[in-house]
């Protein structure tokens, strides 16, 4: 089988596209924006309320069996409505952190399709414990 002129044109187009994609990929790598998020700068003082203390306790038990974790979660759910400053945004903070804690527990019970989910949930819960704020991570 002999190559005709149209075959050479097709080969040149294919090789040209290959070279173009390699150059474009290298250019994209050099100009890529780092994907690491900026660290959270917390300027407000850490709250120490009974609800946050209960959250700290429940977060410490997050990997324990349900028999140990569920009573701590029940105590936390009872103390959240008793938060002394529900109008200053901290009630929503503790509820957001509680949502991440429950998400973490559910995600550990079954495998999640996103392998980074445990890392994100762990990071968020640890920030909630550290700052007593829903960091929005």
Residues 15-35 have pLDDT tens digits of 999 999 999 988 887 776 666
Question: Is a pLDDT exceeding 90 seen at residue 104?
Answer: no
Q: Which pLDDT score is estimated for 6? A: 92
Using alpha carbons, select from 73, 95, 91 the residue that is nearest to residue 83. 91
Report d(CA 47, CA 12) in Å as an integer. Answer: 67
Q: Which residue has the tokens 């990997």?
A: 63
Q: Which pLDDT score is estimated for 29? A: 78
Global pTM reads 0.62
Q: Which residue has the tokens 């309320």?
A: 49
| Rounded (5°) CA angle 48-54-58 | 130
> What's the pLDDT tens digit per position in 47-103?
788 888 999 999 999 989 989 999 999 999 998 887 655 555 555 688 888 988 988
Q: Which pLDDT score is estimated for 69? A: 92
Q: Which pLDDT score is estimated for 8? A: 92
Q: Which pLDDT score is estimated for 75? A: 93
pLDDT grade, residue 41 (50/70/90)? low
The whole-chain average pLDDT of the chain stands at 81
């Amino acid at each position: 089988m002999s190559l005709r002129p149209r075959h050479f044109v097709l080969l040149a187009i294919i090789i040209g596209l290959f070279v173009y994609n390699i150059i474009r990929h290298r250019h994209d790598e050099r100009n890529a924006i780092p994907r690491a998020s900026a660290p959270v700068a917390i300027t407000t003082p850490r709250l120490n309320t009974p609800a946050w203390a209960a959250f700290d306790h429940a977060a410490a038990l997050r990997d324990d069996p349900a028999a140990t974790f569920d009573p701590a979660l029940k105590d936390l759910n009872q103390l959240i409505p008793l938060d002394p400053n529900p109008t200053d945004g901290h009630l929503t903070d503790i509820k957001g952190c509680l949502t991440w804690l429950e998400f973490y527990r559910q995600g550990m019970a079954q495998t999640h399709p996103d392998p980074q989910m445990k890392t994100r949930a762990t990071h968020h819960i640890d920030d909630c414990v550290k700052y007593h704020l829903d960091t929005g991570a």
